[in-house]
């Protein structure tokens, strides 16, 4: 049901008339997540697989034999190959008579682009990467349900993980515990490389984890997400191990209040850049001016950074209902520490529905 609607919406976002759309996977490094979007599949690797999507909502999948069982869960027509030569023959036969097809250039390596041109010399390849991003930016009910599940899993982990902290433990130990709990509570895997940082390492936004030991008075920053049936959550909390200092309390309060400014500004029709400007201006009016060094948030879905839409100074896209994004202001002082608070939000007509619910108060453990 959802796949046909997604395909219809996708074609509606493409200006040129196409005979078909091709989503092509190579090896693990060049798998196109749009393959799973248009087929509705959530299991299987599908390396070396191709899906041909037609304007009538139907699709053919050209897949290796080892993926046949996984592919059977879709509504598509399955074409199985045993080797590379057979896959190319099936592709050429399937494309016979077609003149113009859409390709996700942003998900295709240059090497594979050259191979496609050699294999299909008479077919014109049209870039539809922007149309794919535009279509995926608006989530359907199935996608919203899966992201909400991913958020609820992350919430359970966030509420549980504080009890695992102990003096002199290493960052990598708490990261391992987070990843274990994510799957224990129902995730297929972590959504991305889990961030668990202590002390001054919290001032590095994309620090992951290392062998730093936890000591009293440290900031502790957790940034992680759950992946559930390919859909992701992304949440961050910053706490203090021990008793928080006056400076730590102030940093946390400023970030929490800045996030609320972001929440309060959310509704369909506002531009992403306007949201970021409001949050940035709030922080810059405090003693932490210039310490907010990244965008306020990003789109979320099949990818953790799901397309080009976000809350940044360069995003003039207007928010629409059923977009899902993060709101994650932060303050960072190199050599001292940083605070970031991040939640996932679903855009509604006049407001936003917050999907992650663990406490945003400063917690001292």
Asked if 169 and 282 sit in the same domain, the reply is yes
Q: 248-257 pLDDT, tens per residue? A: 999 999 999 9
Q: 250-299 pLDDT, tens per residue? A: 999 999 999 999 999 999 999 999 999 999 999 999 999 999 999 999 99
Residue-level pLDDT at 251: 98
Full-model pTM? 0.96
| Domain's final residue, options 97, 120, 136 | 136
| Domain's final residue, options 99, 120, 136 | 136
**What is the mean predicted confidence (pLDDT) over 306-315?**
93
Asked if 127 and 190 sit in the same domain, the reply is no
**What is the mean predicted confidence (pLDDT) over 340-347?**
98
Residue-level pLDDT at 63: 96
Q: 91-150 pLDDT, tens per residue? A: 999 999 999 999 999 988 888 899 999 999 999 999 999 999 999 999 999 999 999 999
Q: How many CB atoms lie within 10 A of CB 346?
A: 21
Q: How many CB atoms lie within 10 A of CB 196?
A: 29
Closest CA to 136 of 19, 24, 32, 273: 32
Tell me the CA distances in angstroms from 186 to 163, 255, 331, 357, one per residue in order: 20, 30, 32, 17
Asked if 185 and 262 sit in the same domain, the reply is yes
For residues 58 and 7, what is the distance between their CA atoms, to the nearest angstrom? 8
Tell me the CA distances in angstroms from 22 to 4, 16, 19, 119, 259, one per residue in order: 15, 15, 10, 14, 40
Asked if 319 and 186 sit in the same domain, the reply is yes
Asked if 223 and 345 sit in the same domain, the reply is yes
Q: 317-339 pLDDT, tens per residue? A: 999 999 999 999 999 999 999 99
Asked if 110 and 146 sit in the same domain, the reply is no
25 compared with 329, residue with greater pLDDT: 329
* pLDDT above 70 as % of the chain: 99
Q: CATH number of the domain that 191 lies in?
A: 3.90.230.10
For residues 307 and 293, what is the distance between their CA atoms, to the nearest angstrom? 21
Report how many domains make up the chain: 2
Q: 28-71 pLDDT, tens per residue? A: 767 899 999 999 999 999 999 999 999 999 999 999 999 999 99
Closest CA to 344 of 300, 281, 296: 300
Q: 164-178 pLDDT, tens per residue? A: 999 999 999 999 999
Q: Is the pLDDT of residue 1 over 70?
A: no
Q: CATH number of the domain that 14 lies in?
A: 3.40.350.10
| Domain's final residue, options 136, 153, 183 | 136
Written as six digits, the tokens of 183 are: 């799957």
Beta carbons of 35 and 25 less than 8 angstroms apart: yes
Mean pLDDT across the chain: 96
Domain that holds residue 263: 141-354
Asked if 165 and 121 sit in the same domain, the reply is no
């Amino acid at each position: 049901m959802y796949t046909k609607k997604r395909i219809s919406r996708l074609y509606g976002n493409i200006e040129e008339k196409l005979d078909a759309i091709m989503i092509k996977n190579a090896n693990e490094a060049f798998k196109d997540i749009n393959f799973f979007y248009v087929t509705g599949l959530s299991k299987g690797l599908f390396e070396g697989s191709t899906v041909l999507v037609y304007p009538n909502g139907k699709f053919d999948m050209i897949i290796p034999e080892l993926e046949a069982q996984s592919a059977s869960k879709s509504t598509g027509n399955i074409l199985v190959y045993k080797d590379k030569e057979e896959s190319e023959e099936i592709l050429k036969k399937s494309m016979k008579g077609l003149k113009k097809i859409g390709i996700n250039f942003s998900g295709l390596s240059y090497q594979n682009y050259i191979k496609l041109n050699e294999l299909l010399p008479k077919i014109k390849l049209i870039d539809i990467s922007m149309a794919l991003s535009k279509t995926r930016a608006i989530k359907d009910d199935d996608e919203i349900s899966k992201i909400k599940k991913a958020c609820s899993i992350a919430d359970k982990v966030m509420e549980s993980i504080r009890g695992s902290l102990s003096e002199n433990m290493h960052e990598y130990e708490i990261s391992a515990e987070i990843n274990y709990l994510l799957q224990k509570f129902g995730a297929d895997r972590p959504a991305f490389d889990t961030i668990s940082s202590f002390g001054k390492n919290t001032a590095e936004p994309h620090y992951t984890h290392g062998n730093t030991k936890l000591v009293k008075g440290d900031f502790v920053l957790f940034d992680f997400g759950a992946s559930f049936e390919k859909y992701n959550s992304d949440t961050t909390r910053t706490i203090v191990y021990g008793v928080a200092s006056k400076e730590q309390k102030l940093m946390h309060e400023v970030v929490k209040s800045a996030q609320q400014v972001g929440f309060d500004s959310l509704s369909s029709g506002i531009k992403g850049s306007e949201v970021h400007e409001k949050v940035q201006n709030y922080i810059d009016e405090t003693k932490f001016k210039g310490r907010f060094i990244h965008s306020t948030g990003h789109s979320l879905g099949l990818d953790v950074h799901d397309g080009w839409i976000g809350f940044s100074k360069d995003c003039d896209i207007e928010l629409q209902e059923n977009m899902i994004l993060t709101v994650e202001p932060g303050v960072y002082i190199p050599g001292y520490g940083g605070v970031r608070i991040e939640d996932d939000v679903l855009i509604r007509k006049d407001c936003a529905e917050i999907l992650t619910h663990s406490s945003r108060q400063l917690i001292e453990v």
